[in-house]
Structure 1
């Protein structure tokens, strides 16, 4: 098997599911600093990702760019909406300091997490 193909991590899509943890939400505020911790409890979160490694090492997320593998990145609040009710998270496969391919997009809307459908799914779905 080609080594470049074997190196690509597996990913499973689930566009029909949602996740909400009312216990977690009752204990912590959901904001731009805590949303990745909240996402870590969802079924989409890969416990072997680089975010988890950095968390165990108590290192900041800025170190993700120096690593290779799966990572999750919170996208900036472009709408400058306050209080923020929509968060967008990218699951990426980082292959170098400046190279990361988006594998999936998730969003947290009103404290519920969903996976955003990819372009192919949108174009082939029946309305």
Structure 2
């Protein structure tokens, strides 16, 4: 079984946080427990050396912590602020500058729950090349994705939506030899609803008390109810009758009239 890719991995250790807490001064120790940490890095070498080294005088530690004479031109303002604010990171920086190779430093702090750890390759005491960034958000540790994978993911997402759009256009298009290509008109078809009054009248006429059993009064009431239940149908029939009579009259007038030529 192949190991998961680090840029797709999320790691956290609630037990470690419960025991030691998570702060800016121990965030590198928390990161060292993650699978993102290289056990052969300069951080691990310096940590092993400190376990067997003699304790340093307080004056020397203070001088190392306040040392800003390194003259590193590539040091950004965030890194300088971290070294001037947190003594433990200033001590780590002084020790790591003595070694060459891969190291991990704290590059950005936004307390209380966001840190950026930078992996870099140190070649000289004043020169280091960044290799990778790692984010610590709350208790979760992530590796920053590469620009290629970000573009690859965005292009795949755009390709998926374009495929769906082209498939919909293909279903809507049609071709006729006489008219050529066109798109089918889409419309929402609604089912006509039957008025409640008309259904009530029809159910009443189908029962035993119909017009044949109750006499003319019931029949007249039924006709009144039917006409009131469907006013649109009666108005439409009346309009059709008026239109036919009017058209016949206009036709007769046009046949009897004498054409006048100008």
Q: Give the number of equivalent residue pairs.
A: 111
For residues 144 and 95 of structure 2, the distance between their equivalents in structure 1, rounded to whole angstroms, comes to 26
Name stretches of at least 5 consecutive residues in structure 2 with no aligned partner.
54-90, 158-262
Shift of 1:124: 2.8
Shift of 1:101: 1.2
Matched, 1:22 2:50: no
Larger relative contact order (Cα-Cα within 8 Å, sequence gap ≥ 6): 1
For residues 32 and 54 of structure 1, the distance between their equivalents in structure 2, rounded to whole angstroms, comes to 19
Instruction: Kindly indicate which of the two structures has a greater share of residues assigned to strand.
Output: 1
Q: Which runs of 4+ in 1 moved over 4 A?
A: none
Choose which of 132, 136, 141 in structure 2 pairs with 1:108: 136
> What TM-score do the two structures reach when normalised by structure 2?
0.40
Q: CA RMSD in A?
A: 1.6
Name stretches of at least 5 consecutive residues in structure 1 with no aligned partner.
1-12
Shift of 1:99: 1.7
Shift of 1:118: 2.4
Contact kept in structure 2, 1:104 and 1:118, CA below 8 Å? no
Larger radius of gyration: 2
For residues 31 and 24 of structure 2, the distance between their equivalents in structure 1, rounded to whole angstroms, comes to 11
Shift of 1:121: 2.4
C-alpha offsets along residues 43-77 of structure 1, whole Å, 9 cap, x if unaligned? 01011111111111127412111211010001132
For residues 104 and 94 of structure 1, the distance between their equivalents in structure 2, rounded to whole angstroms, comes to 13
> What TM-score do the two structures reach when normalised by structure 1?
0.79
Shift of 1:90: 0.3
